[in-house]
Amino acid sequence: MQDPRQEKSWWKIWLALVVGTLIGSSVVPALLERYARGGDWEAALEHAAGVVVTAWLPTVAVFSAAGLTALFIARRRSFFEKPGRAN
């Protein structure tokens, strides 16, 4: 059985990546891009929401599904078993 603290650390890493990509590569650049082109903040927020829905969300969904699939396969193959334990 895997240490629960280790599972939590993987969950925190995934969550940090998701939040970091949301803020750093989607929302902030979209807001700044629209505002720099002379739009108001309302137009910038609408543009940022569109970027999140059309670009960020599908990307996170695909990579999360791929990561979960890899984790499932690794667990099925006893990849996370303790050393010295018979497979």
pLDDT in 10s for each residue of the chain, 87 residues: 556 666 667 778 888 888 888 888 888 888 888 888 887 888 888 888 888 889 889 988 998 898 888 878 877 776 556 666 555
Tell whether 3 is covered by a domain: no
Domain range holding 66? Answer: 14-76
Tell whether 19 is covered by a domain: yes
Closest CA to 34 of 50, 21, 20: 50
Tell whether 37 is covered by a domain: yes
Tell whether 40 is covered by a domain: yes
Tell whether 34 is covered by a domain: yes
Tell whether 82 is covered by a domain: no
Tell whether 6 is covered by a domain: no
The total domain count for the chain is 1
Dihedral angle over CA of 67, 73, 76, 77, nearest 10: -120
